[in-house]
Structure 1
Amino acid sequence: MQLPGDPRIDAIAEALLADPGDDRDLEAWAGELRISERTITRAFRSSTGLSFAHWRQALRIHRGLAMLAEGLEVHAVSDQLGYGHPSTFIAAFRRVMGTTPGAYADQP
């Protein structure tokens, strides 16, 4: 995935690209960057067409696809991507991809 291209939020994207499991929320990012949560929200929507939460979810699923392709187990992928439980990752994966990680990995 690419950076949004907005200097107000590129630091967030860089951090999440480096560590998709980073679970800081909008409030934490706003405090760290000294901008409002609303500014972050608007910047993500304007730059990416997605909310911050949806952009982070897309990043995590994208990274999860690569990890599954490398042969990692679902629970390991879930842990590395910052999901509290494998079932949470599986549900997010299904929402985005329309199938479970196991069914996706079994496809030829």
Structure 2
Amino acid sequence: PVPDDPRITRIVDTLLADPACPRALDGWARDLGISERTVTRAFRESTGLTFGQWRQSLRIRHAVTLLSAGHRVHEVSEQLGYTQPSTFIAAFHKVTGQTPGAVA
């Protein structure tokens, strides 16, 4: 789900446009002038997920789109900001229960 809380709209819009954005929760909170706890609460109330869980879910959904379009696993890993393809593969498997290669 896409959060609809106006306090976090800038975070959501940025991450939807660039799922690889590496900015951490503390940086977002500082930039928005609100506490990390407020950001976390806004994500949980809007989606049932923490900020980290929501961002990971967004990245994996984007990965599925790219993989289905024929992009290679290592390319998708790079595009989504993972430092190693193995890290991407582990995250993908944790969320979907399958490897990225099974989707491609």
Q: Give the TM bin, normalised by the shorter chain.
A: over 0.9
Q: Within 5 Å, give how 1:24-35 maps onto structure 2.
A: 24-35=23-34
State the alpha-carbon separation in 2 of the partners of residues 66 and 92 from structure 1. Answer: 16
Q: Cα RMSD between the aligned structures?
A: 0.9
Deviations 1:66-100 (A, max 9, x none): 00011001111011111111111100100111110
1:39 lines up with 2:38 in the alignment: yes
TM-score computed with the length of structure 2 as normaliser: 0.96
1:83 lines up with 2:82 in the alignment: yes
Secondary structure in 1 aligned to 2:76?
Answer: helix
State the shift of 1:3 in Å: 3.2
State the alpha-carbon separation in 1 of the partners of residues 45 and 59 from structure 2. Answer: 20
CA contact (8 A) 1:3 1:14 kept: no
Q: Unmatched 5+ residue regions in structure 1?
A: none
Secondary structure in 1 aligned to 2:7?
Answer: coil
State the alpha-carbon separation in 1 of the partners of residues 47 and 102 from structure 2. Answer: 29
Q: Partner of 1:16 in structure 2? A: 15
CA contact (8 A) 1:78 1:86 kept: yes
Provide runs of 4+ in structure 1 moved above 2 Å.
none
State the alpha-carbon separation in 2 of the partners of residues 87 and 10 from structure 1. Answer: 31
Q: Unmatched 5+ residue regions in structure 2?
A: none
Deviations 1:42-77 (A, max 9, x none): 000000000000000000000000000110011110
